[in-house]
Structure 1
């Protein structure tokens, strides 16, 4: 791809003040650069959680699953990212962005990915169901109460869009079925609370 086009994209990216939008646009550019290789970066981790919670969760890191690290290395270097020896992250200090590629294969279904279009390019995000499963596993096996709370909020925010048949099946496979049932119940109570608070606000 023409280096001038990439340079133009990066210049436009540097003007973006919203960190989530900047991160998504950076992933969109990387995805565009890797498209001819048939490689599809997938956004996971904290930035995916931030996307699904509409900015409710904040993080500086961009975690990506990419099957093709060497090609990703070339693309990231074209975008001005550098990786120091011994470091896990790729940094672009001008953009104030950090990218890590923790895995080559997605712990979840590629059929459940969410696709976002940005300036004619695409970003692929881990499916909401698989992100919930990830948080549930952290809650159960790492005793992370924070992740348990995020799982509740994710279900509450996306209740009507979630494939519960898939979610329950995978929860059983991942041995988090017990905590999922409890989380669904709590998310229902969370939805009721939001509705009641909204109703009271309208009545005032």
Structure 2
């Protein structure tokens, strides 16, 4: 039995198929970041309403998304920056070219292949996701991100703490470290 809500699991499967199609075209896979990455790494304990992605080939990615049934929302009160799949009711949006302003290389991504046979998607490492949440927390604009960072670390006690320390320091301009995430700082 899956830990994830059905629409999220279906969205991950669709994202994997789109990612695989991009790879088959010789293009880089989009990278899952943000809230959907949090939902994935928390096993659905924290849910999201959107999928944030990074892609260096946004026009080609959007072509592929359209081939897979995505449409731009239209009408009064609808956001126009992202895409929606009518059956999933989750928004998909390209939020940047590269994850975390280029602080994460393609060789540091995780390839997930558990949702669709023969298809995989790229996602940032849990340590980078924790560091991103801490960066948002440190900015003072998203105080709830500390709880997300701590939940992620609690669920992933095998996280590389040396790497996490460096990434949290980088994302918070040195104001916080891994001990702050662990609740020891």
TM band (smaller chain): 0.7 to 0.9
Unaligned runs of 5+ in 2: none
SS in 1 for 2:112: strand
For residues 30-179 of structure 1, the aligned pairs below 5 Å read 30-35=18-23, 36-84=25-73, 87-107=80-100, 108-117=104-113, 118-160=116-158, 162-179=159-176
Alignment equivalent of 1:22, drawn from 1, 7, 10: 10
1:63 is displaced (CA, Å) by 0.9
SS in 1 for 2:51: strand
Return the TM-score normalized by structure 1: 0.76
Larger helix percent: 1
1:143 is displaced (CA, Å) by 4.5
Return the TM-score normalized by structure 2: 0.83
1:20 is displaced (CA, Å) by 2.0
Q: Which range is displaced more, 49-58 or 103-112?
A: 103-112
Distance 1:177 1:164 in 2: 16
Unaligned runs of 5+ in 1: 1-16, 189-204
After superposition, the Cα gap between the structure-2 partners of 1:185 and 1:90, relative to the gap in structure 1 and judged at 3 Å, is closer
SS in 2 for 1:62: strand
Q: Which has the larger radius of gyration?
A: 1
